[in-house]
Amino acid sequence: MRLALVGQPNSGKSTLFNALVGLRAVAANFPGTTVEVLRGRAALAGKPVEIVDLPGIYSLAAQDPAERVARDFLLSEKVDVILNVVDASVLPRSLTLTLELMELGIPMVVVLNMADEAEHKGIRIDSEKLEGILGVPVVFTVASRGVGLRELAAAVARARVPTPPRYSEAVEALRAALKGPDPLPAQPAWVPPPVREALRARGYEDPAELWADERFALAARIFREVAQVAHARVGLRERLDDLLMHPFFGYAFLALTLFLLFFLTFRVGAALEGLLLPPLEGLSARAGAALGEGVAAQALTGALEGLLAGIGIALPYLLPFFLLLALLEDVGYLPRAGFLLDGLMHRLGLHGKSVIPLLLGYGCSVPAVLATRILEDERDRFVSAVLAVLIPCAARTVVVFGLVGRFLGPAAALLLYLGNLGVVALAATLLARLFPATGPGLILEIPPYRLPTPRTTLGKTWLRLREFVKVAWPLLVASSFVLSLFQALGLAPYLNAAARAVTWPLGLPPEAGTPLLFGILRKELALLLLAQALGTEDLPAALSSGQMLVFTVFTIFYLPCVATLAVLGKELGWRRTGLVLLATTGLALLLGLGARLVAAAAL
């Protein structure tokens, strides 16, 4: 049996998905976190089921990529039961989607999620009455706390095909005219003249708009029937928003938040690194001594060094960073930052919604590129994806903090971040010249603040760290092994010679070439393999301050890692991805040269 979770953005589908199948999906407090179809298995009332988490959709008629994914899935794949997840605190609006789903002829259960939030807003819903009106089971849940899951399992057994609601004669005539394989055509191809006349008489050009308005009116009627609304309190939330989205204090708070994000990451990371690194280095030295000489022994020692570098250098910075980013996401701060930066982004030819993929880019470029799907306009998606790739992800943060922060000081690292923002702004301006803005501008729901639960926030941090452990560690160990093997066999000079085209103009030692080549696999590798390639843990002895700066600048900008390239290829097409590849590498060389000149003048 296959169940599909369908609901409006930010209604808690992913949280419910995680509650049902165990931790699999990344949930966050902004609309559009899920952009792809996620599948999981679970046991409901003892029976095995497949559960599918679809991207959030406001309506089946709208057209952005995430919505198309959800719509296509519902219309073309076999779904046994739709679990329509509804944010109970915004019931009238959510019911319009429910009414649309009722046209599909698929058994349904309505899940009134965030029941606690509705109560907080003074909304009391009579679920039995709603069940009577809709003709499908209705259950209450609070997915974040696992409340109501047993009732949900029982309701699935009672799921029924709903009877589509009746509308005015004009709409019914339209529905009759549209009868075909697609029960809800996104764009009616042809409307019979009498229907068109009926529409015009009521002041509508577009049949979809009339239908949408009638659906809304029906949803509002149902809401009045089943809900009692106590006088809503003027919430703390509203006052908090007046402050946090204030034209002056809002900016101050945003700047402070971003500063704290990096400052805390650096301080906690450096402390953890100081704790972990010395014993690990001792361990690797002892293992090296025990294994002795010989090609195989050297390669094994190299692999071990790679693993230990992953624990000692990368993990200390990734852990606090992912945790803090998860907190910001779960509280719901990202859409607020989008609102604050909308005016600024306009000057760069984008709008506030692009802030979300860009901020996510500090975590990892892959979800950042995927998150551009929340943008309605194709051109905005392309430009935002390119810019998101230029934002230093957590892997590059490891390089910035582990090299520049550690040896040149936190101020230099901060300057690199600010300089990076300047480059992103310049790139945006240039892209706006090449591809003039066409999109409608900002349309973004700002969800209520939510207190992050340890389960969701720690869970998400763990999901992202696990990505690192699962993907990066094996790569790290394999690369260190290969690199040591090359060194032991005397092959490394060939790789370094190939990379000389880059290392020579940048004034880097030839040995830095191999780590940069491996960095294409994962950006941390550039730093983690550097010590090994240079043959010393004492980096300041082997590299000047200027060289460290140049190496880091080049690492930030040169071609995106393979995982990012793959997702770029999927989202933008390979021709555009090829252009991004060339442009970023050219940019990295240019900025690396610039950094060399600045370093020569200043250091």
Amino acid identity at 80: D
Per-residue tokens: 182: 């697609």
The answer to whether 67 and 186 are in contact (CB under 8 A) is no
Q: Residue 326 interacts with other proteins (CB under 8 A)? A: no
Instruction: Measure the CA–CA gap between 107 and 230, rounded to whole angstroms.
Output: 33
Site for other proteins in 161-190 (CB under 8 A): 187
Q: Which of 13, 121, 381, 596 binds other proteins (CB under 8 A)?
A: 121
For other proteins, the closer CB: 252 or 497 = 252
Which residues have a Cβ under 8 Å from the Cβ of 41 and sit 6 or more positions away?
Answer: 21, 48, 49, 50, 51
Q: Which of 213, 378, 467, 537 binds other proteins (CB under 8 A)?
A: 213
Q: Residue 59 interacts with other proteins (CB under 8 A)? A: yes
Tell how strand 227-229 and strand 123-125 pair up: antiparallel
The DSSP annotation for 21-78 comes to HSS-S---SSTT---S-EEEEEEETTEEEEEEEPPP-S-SS--SHHHHHHHHHHHHS-
Q: Residue 250 interacts with other proteins (CB under 8 A)? A: yes
Strand partners, 142: 147
Instruction: Measure the CA–CA gap between 392 and 419, rounded to whole angstroms.
Output: 11
For other proteins, the closer CB: 25 or 66 = 66
Instruction: Measure the CA–CA gap between 266 and 397, rounded to whole angstroms.
Output: 9
Q: Which of 440, 540, 573, 586 binds other proteins (CB under 8 A)?
A: 440
Q: Residue 77 interacts with other proteins (CB under 8 A)? A: no
Q: Residue 29 interacts with other proteins (CB under 8 A)? A: no
Which residues have a Cβ under 8 Å from the Cβ of 436 and sit 6 or more positions away?
Answer: 349
Q: Residue 197 interacts with other proteins (CB under 8 A)? A: no
For other proteins, the closer CB: 9 or 513 = 9
The number of angstroms, rounded, from the C-alpha of 496 to the middle of its chain's C-alpha atoms is: 36
Q: Residue 245 interacts with other proteins (CB under 8 A)? A: yes
For other proteins, the closer CB: 174 or 403 = 174
Strand partners, 111: 85, 139
Q: Residue 200 interacts with other proteins (CB under 8 A)? A: no
Q: Residue 294 interacts with other proteins (CB under 8 A)? A: no
Q: Residue 89 interacts with other proteins (CB under 8 A)? A: yes
Instruction: Measure the CA–CA gap between 215 and 94, rounded to whole angstroms.
Output: 11
Q: Residue 445 interacts with other proteins (CB under 8 A)? A: yes
Q: How far is the CB of 283 from other proteins (least distance, A)?
A: 52
Q: Which of 306, 310, 312, 338 binds other proteins (CB under 8 A)?
A: 338
Q: Which residue do the tokens 């971003």 mark?
A: 258
The answer to whether 552 and 519 are in contact (CB under 8 A) is no
Stretch that binds other proteins, among 46-54, 55-63, 292-300, 387-395 (CB under 8 A): 55-63
For other proteins, the closer CB: 448 or 507 = 448
The answer to whether 445 and 9 are in contact (CB under 8 A) is yes
For other proteins, the closer CB: 64 or 305 = 64
Q: Which of 42, 62, 291, 421 binds other proteins (CB under 8 A)?
A: 62
Q: Residue 342 interacts with other proteins (CB under 8 A)? A: yes
Q: Residue 151 interacts with other proteins (CB under 8 A)? A: no
Instruction: Measure the CA–CA gap between 393 and 339, rounded to whole angstroms.
Output: 23
For other proteins, the closer CB: 172 or 209 = 209
Q: Which of 238, 429, 497, 505 binds other proteins (CB under 8 A)?
A: 238
Q: Residue 410 interacts with other proteins (CB under 8 A)? A: no
Stretch that binds other proteins, among 35-43, 322-330, 435-443, 552-560 (CB under 8 A): 435-443
Taken in order 405, 406, 410, 411, the sign of the CA dihedral is: negative
Q: Which of 119, 241, 281, 467 binds other proteins (CB under 8 A)?
A: 241
**Alpha-carbon distances of 162 from 134, 168, 279, 402, rounded to whole Å:** 7, 19, 64, 59
Produce one character per residue of 387-421: b if its CB has 16 or more CB atoms within 10 Å, e if not.
bbbbbbbbbbbbbbbbbbbbebebebbbebbebbe
Q: Which of 253, 321, 339, 486 binds other proteins (CB under 8 A)?
A: 339
Q: Residue 218 interacts with other proteins (CB under 8 A)? A: no
Give the binding site for other proteins (CB under 8 A).
Answer: 58-59, 61-64, 89-90, 92-93, 96-97, 121, 187, 206, 208-209, 212-213, 216, 238, 241-242, 245-247, 250-251, 335, 338-340, 342-344, 346-347, 351-352, 376, 440-448
